[in-house]
Structure 1
């Protein structure tokens, strides 16, 4: 007989490690599982030097958050451990973020953190502690189907975090549990109050925890001195419009602060790290049709190599804040690609494209990959060949 976490045995005989960030979500997970009678162990990761973030509203995984996680664990009467993962976090997440940014990409460090520190290193720690599962406060659901777990979108789509978990492997999914997938944020806060948790009304943490000011370029310059090299600002038609102080100060889709004027709105269309060029153009030049992917993770049925000749109809999500849209998933001699049927503006290499079987609540995550390069929707099909220059530029 399975318990409420789809694990054999009684809750009191089942040890669960809860990844406690110090926020309300993971605290409620610990509280709910403790209330159900599970043998709960709380683990908090110290991920970076928290001196500058200790008093910053919205800081995560450092300073005040560690203190809050300790307080919650004490109030629940569960053991709690703080693990120093600073060195691992720097090498696996922060350094990769900096390198990606230097190459003109828009990286997503939360995905890297889940891939390495949380769902690899922490997961192994949970096993060593004798836990039958690792539970987190992510707003996603997993369902046991045919002996394997499927990753699905949560009830509260406004809090959906499945976009950041596309790289989770089937083996990791079998060990992970997400108790909040069937709850709304409002319900979670109400549970926190009923449990008497001090974090019940605590503000949500920011996505990128190691950027204290929100200014990415400042962080890159500190981590990689000399990374900001000057170059040309070039129109898509080839005209040189001006100079810039480094592509790290620009992102695809940016309009303000370009430092050039042409009498019409201009947007950053792409960043070419090799030539240090910032390419700008009109809004219509931002419309992307095809995404060329790297590091693709497939957690759907079968294998990715068995895609139908005409491509697989999916719903694709290219930003965490945007709903999935109709797309075709295909592959050719260059690799895996996704054709966005309605197009998308301002897509940048380094972002993720996540695959779903449908759009709404409970939709299954089929996998995803990182965007290596993009092709304008107007270049797809007969005119796709000239996109080679853009492909090279996107790869950095």
Structure 2
């Protein structure tokens, strides 16, 4: 097969490309330039898309003996990921930019361009597996549960899964991948992993949003509407947050308070006790299915965070929505988050949470 290997400049994508070469595929490496003004160096283990990363990807491709290109996808990334991230927070929701990037850049813009150029598949360093099933390719969790990234890939549809290749899906541990990189002589073998949000390399999400949205002062209130403090923008909060609430007086019982809800129109942030975070039902929209769309109520497991616990639930498609009744409550679930649906290790699909109901 002709394979387009997405090479970020990290160890995972380099080893994935190497394994695709070993498998006998005709591999071409491509580095996605996602930042209009990339920094020269990474900040510790934060961020990506720097000039250093592009050079590391080129060195790995040269060592593997494969052609290498840099594709400028910065305009698409700005519109589809960064601007979406800002708009979602402005609306009081909590997005996952890695999910958006996989959905709209790596497996939409990149795959579409690759298919148009005659490639058969896109290869990445994600920890997930594509396995044959009775009705075609299936997306499954990785062998290493600690590194499993199937959640951020749950936005892929069936056609995208069929054109995806994840050579690290069967890797037992990340350390084994690093050891393999060392054996291959790849210079990125001990390069630190990137963390947090790649376009906010200093990790200051609140500061980034404040720069984009400006100050929008409002009140922090309890469930009875009593004012407990003030804030400079609802975008600085997420459901389940405990620290940085700016409260002027403690709870009567002395227990910590958490963000329960966010109202960007009224500019209020409501806080309360931890037990009020428990959620028993979800409503979700914009569903994407890599498996056949469920008909009627079906037993599934759902996951609402990249490394969160998967809990049993009953999901049912109702028009444009997916209704989810949780068998066990989840805490700190926010509108805007992605809910991924699983049957065993298989990813069935995903949707965007639009509303929650307390347990």
| TM-score normalized by the length of structure 1 | 0.85
Offset of residue 331 of structure 1: 4.1
Aligned to 2:355: 373
Asked whether the equivalents of residues 50 and 63 of structure 1 are also in contact (C-alpha less than 8 Å), the reply is: no
Distance 1:241 1:147, change over 3 A: closer
Aligned to 1:170: 158
Tell me whether 1:221 sits opposite 2:199 in the alignment: no
Tell me whether 1:90 sits opposite 2:72 in the alignment: no
2: CA distance between counterparts of 1:333 and 1:171? 23
Offset of residue 234 of structure 1: 1.3
Offset of residue 174 of structure 1: 1.1
Tell me whether 1:186 sits opposite 2:172 in the alignment: no
Offset of residue 266 of structure 1: 1.0
Aligned to 1:300: 291
| TM-score normalized by the length of structure 2 | 0.94
The correspondence for 2:280, drawn from 289, 302, 310, is 289
Asked whether the equivalents of residues 3 and 122 of structure 2 are also in contact (C-alpha less than 8 Å), the reply is: yes
Offset of residue 333 of structure 1: 6.8
> Which sections of structure 2, spanning at least 5 residues, go unmatched?
none
Encode CA deviations 1:1-34: one digit per residue, 9 max, x unaligned.
Answer: xxxxxxxxxxxxx321101111111100111222
Distance 1:298 1:36, change over 3 A: closer
Let me know the Cα RMSD of the aligned residues. Answer: 1.6
Aligned to 2:217: 230
The aligned length equals 353
Tell me whether 1:112 sits opposite 2:100 in the alignment: yes
Tell me whether 1:273 sits opposite 2:260 in the alignment: no
2: CA distance between counterparts of 1:23 and 1:271? 37
Asked whether the equivalents of residues 156 and 289 of structure 2 are also in contact (C-alpha less than 8 Å), the reply is: no
Offset of residue 107 of structure 1: 0.7
1:126-205 alignment to 2 at 5 Å? 126-183=114-171, 184-205=173-194
Asked whether the equivalents of residues 137 and 161 of structure 2 are also in contact (C-alpha less than 8 Å), the reply is: yes
Encode CA deviations 1:274-331: one digit per residue, 9 max, x unaligned.
Answer: 2111001111111111111011112223x33x22xxx211111111121211111124
SS of the aligned residue for 1:373 comes to strand
> Which sections of structure 1, spanning at least 5 residues, go unmatched?
1-13, 378-396
Encode CA deviations 1:70-124: one digit per residue, 9 max, x unaligned.
Answer: 1111111111000111111000100000000111111101111111111111112
Tell me whether 1:21 sits opposite 2:8 in the alignment: yes
2: CA distance between counterparts of 1:242 and 1:37? 62
Bigger CA drift: 330-339 or 67-76? Answer: 330-339
Bigger CA drift: 34-43 or 136-145? Answer: 34-43
